[in-house]
Structure 1
Amino acid sequence: MMETDTPIYVNNTQGENVESYIYIGQIYSTRDKNQDKEIQRRITAGWTAFARHRDIFKGNVGACLKRQIYNSYVLSTMTYGAETWALAIRAKNKLAAAQTVMEKSMLNIIYRDRKTNTWVRENTKVTDAIEQVRRRK
């Protein structure tokens, strides 16, 4: 695609030239071809969704309810638009790391507890974000 500086007019108003824009919930960039910004944006949206339900995730609520809310709300927010992603290893690692930190927070685990990621996943039983992305393709 060739770059052009030709102005675009709509109703005698010149359109603004931008490097990226959000359309239907996804960020599109005219310069960057990788999707790091979009994936980081989705991770941030996932953290926002997680924070909205912090009282449930941090409270004395059953693991089943926590898992259901996480899978239906937080995970779907994080993986929205994943059908169009071409995940690189770095992006997969970012998604996995964010999910692991959220899961540890759900179990009220701190770093000093020295629990493995496998142990955490066995106890939360949430859907893996990377598997969710693969299924959506």
Structure 2
Amino acid sequence: MRNGLVPYGPFTFNGTNFFECSSSVYLGRKTNVMNEFSPELNRRKRTAWVAFESNEDVVKRTKNTQLRSYLFDSTVLSTLTYASETWSLRKQDEKSLSFIEHAVERTTLVSRFSQVKDGIRSSDLRQRSKIKDAVLYAKQLKIMWSGHVLPMNDNRWTTAVSDWISRDLGISNVLQEEHQPNGQSSSRKA
């Protein structure tokens, strides 16, 4: 992957030729040049189904709904929301995440076909099973991460990544002054 500042062409590192690619997986997240989030959601969807399939025979054997919801929360939900602390979810991403969660949830609770026939809504099913909502869980993880990063006052990468600078401020203003004249910081927490 490259941006406009890097010339086109392959490069060699330790005798190995590298070529340009459009996306890459780094620190558990799929990044791409266009900064699209849908490929990452597709990866999360596949990993959630793999996590479900690893417990599928246990889920099929038990009739205990609490055990099924515990297995869902501990395996499927954690893989579905992995690294969600760094996500910036839009409404369409939230809908996609909910759609993925509902599909795996219905399969986990074995209510796939009877749910539609009986007229049971997904929200009712979640209330009965006590399964956590994936979107709400991702937002809670983000808040917990910011609470962890907030007290850090040294120059770690976590605070540097969490700070963002408004685009309407000129770069020279940010480099010259760390604080605005009225005492407010020119960078804000994400």
Aligned-pair distance for 1:8? 2.3
Bigger shift: residues 110-119 or 89-98: 110-119
* CA shift digits 1:63-117 (9 cap, x unpaired): 2211211111110000011112111111111111121122222332213232111
Aligned-pair distance for 1:58? 2.8
Q: Where in structure 2 are there 5+ consecutive unaligned residues?
A: 143-190
SS in 2 for 1:127: coil
Aligned-pair distance for 1:24? 2.4
Alpha-carbon separation, structure 2, partners of 1:74 and 1:9: 40
Name 2:20's counterpart in structure 1: 17
Of structures 1 and 2, the one scoring higher in RCO (CA 8 A, sep 6+) is 1
Is the contact between residue 75 and residue 129 of structure 1 (CA under 8 Å) also seen in structure 2? yes
Alpha-carbon separation, structure 2, partners of 1:95 and 1:19: 24
Aligned counterpart for 1:62 among listed residues 61, 64, 82: 64
Bigger shift: residues 97-106 or 117-126: 97-106
SS in 1 for 2:31: strand
Q: TM-score, normalised by structure 1?
A: 0.88
Structure 2 residue 110 is the aligned partner of structure 1 residue 105: no
The structure whose Rg is larger is: 2
Alpha-carbon separation, structure 2, partners of 1:57 and 1:115: 21
Aligned-pair distance for 1:53? 1.0
Alpha-carbon separation, structure 2, partners of 1:44 and 1:133: 17
One-letter identity of the residue aligned with 2:39: K
Is the contact between residue 9 and residue 20 of structure 2 (CA under 8 Å) also seen in structure 1? no
Bigger shift: residues 122-131 or 95-104: 95-104
Q: Where in structure 1 are there 5+ consecutive unaligned residues?
A: none
Q: How many residues align?
A: 136
